[in-house]
């Protein structure tokens, strides 16, 4: 099972989350919201071979933490994964759009300079801007749009420029989320929980709840949960085979497709 976007460090007991994920054999991408949080969050994953820690600077914190970009640059060589990054054009955040853009553009530029990264991206109310920027810096790496909530047209554009997607139980609960997931290329989807922000009927989701998304995808795809799980693991394998240099060489993103 896979939880490719989870905030392990933000649960009340992160050590317990790591232990439970390990016991259940789950592959976890542990995303962070600030460079400062990365060091101790990466420490949590030490010795756990299925957990990777992504270096992030969350768009909702960009206006408070943009001064950590220097630290981001310093830490970037130590992580193959970047996230959570992105833009948020929703109420309460759009007034900070200039700083959000500065942070996101800097992260893309540094990732490009560093040979490319696998990136977990937040795109709420900002899909067009995100796609424009990804297309402008194709060497930044492989973008995975997490909890995508744009339109069907935006989804097609994202797919055309080579984006992947991570989807979770909270997104797939609604009809819109399910219809978007149905339109995503089946070989470019991973499951996520976005816990503890992602919620289920019993409160915050945990990595083990990624199984709910596997079952939801199985229904959407019209196959068994076992077959869906196999597809998702194949996807993870093909993603992992893309090393940074590899990503740059075969990045499907191009200026041409976005124009």
CB of 187 to Zn ion, least distance (A): 23
Piece of the chain touching Zn ion by CB under 5 A; list 20-28, 38-46, 98-106, 191-199: 191-199
CB of 30 to Zn ion, least distance (A): 11
Whichever of 174 and 226 has its CB closer to Zn ion, that residue is 174
Site for Zn ion in 61-90 (CB under 5 A): 84
Whichever of 196 and 225 has its CB closer to Zn ion, that residue is 196
Which residues make beta-bridge pairs with 145?
121, 165
Outline where the chain has alpha helix (H): 14-23, 35-45, 62-65, 69-75, 97-113, 127-136, 152-160, 169-172, 175-183, 210-221, 225-240, 244-250, 255-258
83 in the Ramachandran plot: left (φ > 0), alpha (ψ -120 to 50) or beta?
A: left
Distances (CA, A) of 28 to 4, 50, 210: 5, 6, 10
CB 115 within 8 A of CB 152: no
Q: Is residue 194 involved in binding Zn ion (CB under 5 A)? A: yes
Whichever of 194 and 229 has its CB closer to Zn ion, that residue is 194
Whichever of 31 and 181 has its CB closer to Zn ion, that residue is 31
Three-state secondary structure call for residue 68:
helix
Residue found under tokens 């007991």: 13
Whichever of 17 and 251 has its CB closer to Zn ion, that residue is 17
Whichever of 84 and 128 has its CB closer to Zn ion, that residue is 84
Handedness of CA 242, 245, 246, 250 (dihedral sign): positive
Site size toward Zn ion (CB under 5 A) is 2
Site for Zn ion in 201-220 (CB under 5 A): none
Piece of the chain touching Zn ion by CB under 5 A; list 21-29, 92-100, 189-197, 247-255: 189-197
Closest alpha carbon to 143 in 18, 34, 258: 258
Piece of the chain touching Zn ion by CB under 5 A; list 67-75, 106-114, 179-187, 193-201: 193-201
- Give me the residue whose beta carbon is nearest to Zn ion: 194
Q: Which residues bind Zn ion (CB under 5 A)?
A: 84, 194
């Amino acid at each position: 099972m896979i939880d490719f976007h989870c905030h392990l460090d933000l649960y009340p007991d992160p050590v317990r989350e790591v232990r439970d994920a390990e016991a259940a054999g789950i592959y976890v991408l542990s995303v962070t919201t600030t460079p400062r949080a990365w060091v101790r969050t990466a420490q949590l994953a030490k010795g756990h071979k299925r957990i990777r820690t992504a270096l992030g600077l969350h768009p909702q914190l960009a206006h408070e933490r943009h001064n950590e970009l220097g630290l981001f640059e310093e830490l970037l060589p130590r992580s193959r994964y970047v996230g959570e990054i992105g833009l948020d054009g929703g109420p309460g955040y759009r007034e900070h759009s200039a700083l959000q853009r500065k942070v996101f553009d800097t992260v893309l530029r540094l990732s490009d300079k560093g040979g490319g990264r696998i990136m977990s991206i937040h795109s709420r109310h900002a899909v067009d801007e995100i796609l424009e920027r990804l297309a402008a810096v194709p060497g930044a790496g492989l973008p995975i749009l997490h909890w995508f909530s744009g339109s069907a047209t935006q989804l097609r554009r994202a797919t055309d420029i080579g984006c992947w997607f991570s989807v979770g139980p909270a997104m797939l609960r609604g009809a819109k989320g399910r219809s978007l997931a149905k339109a995503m290329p089946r070989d470019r989807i991973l499951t996520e929980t976005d816990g503890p922000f992602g919620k289920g009927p019993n409160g915050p989701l945990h990595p083990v709840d990624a199984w709910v998304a596997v079952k939801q995808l199985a229904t959407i795809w019209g196959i068994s949960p076992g077959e869906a799980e196999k597809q998702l693991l194949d996807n993870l394998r093909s993603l992992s085979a893309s090393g940074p240099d590899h990503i740059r060489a075969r990045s499907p993103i191009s200026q041409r497709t976005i124009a």
